[in-house]
Structure 1
């Protein structure tokens, strides 16, 4: 009951504030179309990595929203944010969700 990810801690408003991911660079310059294709492929296969489809859907909505709305989405879904940039999260059952940076922000070498 006293762990930081427990429901009681959440009821007290102890959520990690979501932040914009740090700038990153893809291994080679990519176009916006290529980036969107990578994102679509990830989200299409994400439920196969484990966890609940509803949590994956909430994480996708949060990744595509502005920071304020993203914060509301993860709090409403009961997502426990380990990394403030959403790269590592957990659901209330302890399932781990890892998001690649390319679904959270654009690379610095986008062409």
Structure 2
């Protein structure tokens, strides 16, 4: 409860997710190459952020992966349920409730504009 003139804090959990802006990879890549890049990131992601001493870090990475691979409405539900604080609405920068930072590259969130499609 604050005084009448105080400003309420904005609930960062409520930030609405948006699709990442279009981006271009350094060179044209195939869907298989993009998939491999994503797998490599997710396999090593816990080494790049979160709180290594806490099991919650792994749970947050799992939730971030599920959200990154889901449609926006489901992704929104996932991040809210996991208590993830979304700093950038495209999910490239997030925090857990303890303040640990999680950075996601755009290539795990969307496809590049120079993706080589078959046919």
Q: Give me the TM-score of the superposition, normalised by structure 1.
A: 0.88
RMSD of the TM alignment (CA)?
1.6
> Which residue among 108, 112, 116 is the counterpart of 1:103?
108
Aligned match of 1:42: 41
Give the corresponding residue for 2:66.
61
Q: Distance in 1 between matches of 2:22 and 2:87?
A: 19
1:86 equivalent in alignment to 2:91: yes
CA positional deviation for 1:3:
5.2
Kindly provide the CA deviation profile for residues 66-100 of structure 1, in whole angstroms up to 9, marking residues without a partner as x: 00000000000000000000000000000000000
- In structure 2, stretches of 5+ residues that fail to align are 1-7, 51-56
Q: Which runs of 5+ in 1 are unaligned?
A: none
Give the number of the structure whose alpha-carbon radius of gyration is greater: 2
Whole-angstrom CA distance in 2 between matches of 1:73 and 1:96: 17
Cα deviation digits, residues 33-84 of structure 1 (max 9, x gap): 0000000000000011131000000000000000000000000000000000
- Give the TM-score of the pair, scaled to structure 2: 0.83
Runs of at least 4 residues off by over 2 Å: none
Q: Distance in 2 between matches of 1:63 and 1:94?
A: 20
